Amino acid sequence: MKSVVRLVGLGGMAILILLDYATSHAEEVPHHGLTVTITGNATDCLACHDGSMTKTVPICTVKCELKDPHTVDKPYPPAGQEQSYVPAERIAAAGIILVNGQVTCISCHDLKNPNRHHLVIENDKSRLCFTCHIK
Ligand code: HEC
Ligand code: HEC
Ligand code: HEC
């Protein structure tokens, strides 16, 4: 009995060490004079990009128009519209990250890219857009 307790204790400790390793190694990058976790979800980005520290980012979660390109927290591809979207395996191969199968800020933005707008893929000739959208 004692040895079982000891084993469980050791297992628990290993899990704690692993958790600690995972959280203390979340990748952080310099970002406009601040330090930001680049794997954050939309909520993490919007903690600053909601008008409090920066100007408000137009995001579209309901009805998306061309004037607000920020589609977030939407499944990829949208159900029933698969023919209009490049298959998920191909966008992954192109470097696009989906979070839980959804488009989020870091699907389009790579904070490690120092260029203007920190895009995952530069958007000349709408290259970024056509990585996901089929014309
Ligand atoms: C701690 C606050 C903070 C967080 C968190 C944050 N940002 Fe920013 N971000 C800023 C500031 C400050 C600027 C520069 C000023 C501005 O745009 O108003 C900026 C600028 C940007 C720009 C514009 C760069 C340019 O060249 O015009 C992009 C794109 C951006 N952030 C994306 C993101 C994304 C994506 C996330 C989440 C992964 C994120 N940011 C998280 C504070 C933050
Ligand atoms: C579908 C791709 C896509 C998604 C998703 C996306 N962005 Fe962008 N973002 C862009 C592009 C492309 C630009 C460059 C400006 C433009 O064409 O509107 C941009 C520009 C920006 C800028 C600079 C705006 C300015 O006026 O200078 C910020 C800040 C930003 N995005 C933050 C975010 C945040 C935060 C999220 C998540 C809530 C997000 N983006 C989601 C594609 C995206
Ligand atoms: C990461 C993949 C991805 C990228 C990159 C991307 N989009 Fe999208 N886009 C989507 C998804 C998914 C939807 C569907 C959202 C929904 O379910 O309403 C969408 C919807 C849209 C819509 C609404 C269309 C409709 O039929 O409802 C417009 C407009 C749009 N995107 C424009 C753009 C533009 C402009 C760019 C380039 C700046 C871009 N997208 C880049 C994934 C992407």
**pTM for the predicted model, two decimal places:** 0.86
Per-residue confidence (pLDDT) for residue 18, from 0 to 100: 45
**How far, in Å, from the CA of 69 to the mean position of ligand 3?**
7
Domain locations in the chain? 1-37, 38-132
User: What's the confidence (pLDDT) of residue 72?
Assistant: 81
Residue with structure tokens 């979660």? 61
* Protein residue whose Cα sits closest to atom 22 of ligand 1: 117
Q: Give the pair of three-digit tokens for residue 84.
A: 């209009």
pLDDT of residue 126: 84
Q: What is the pLDDT of residue 135?
A: 77
What would the mean pLDDT of 108-120 be, rounded to a whole number? 92
Is the separation of the CB atoms in 73 and 42 below 8 Å? yes
Nearest ligand 1 atom to alpha carbon 55: 18
Q: What is the pLDDT confidence band of residue 10, given thresholds at 50, 70 and 90?
A: low
User: What pLDDT sits at residue 69?
Assistant: 54
User: Measured between alpha carbons, how far is 98 from 120 in angstroms, rounded to an integer?
Assistant: 12
When the pLDDT of each residue in the chain is averaged and rounded to a whole number, the result is: 77
- Tens of pLDDT, residue by residue over 74-102, are 899 999 999 999 999 999 999 999 999 99
Output the residue whose Cα is nearest ligand 1's atom 43: 48
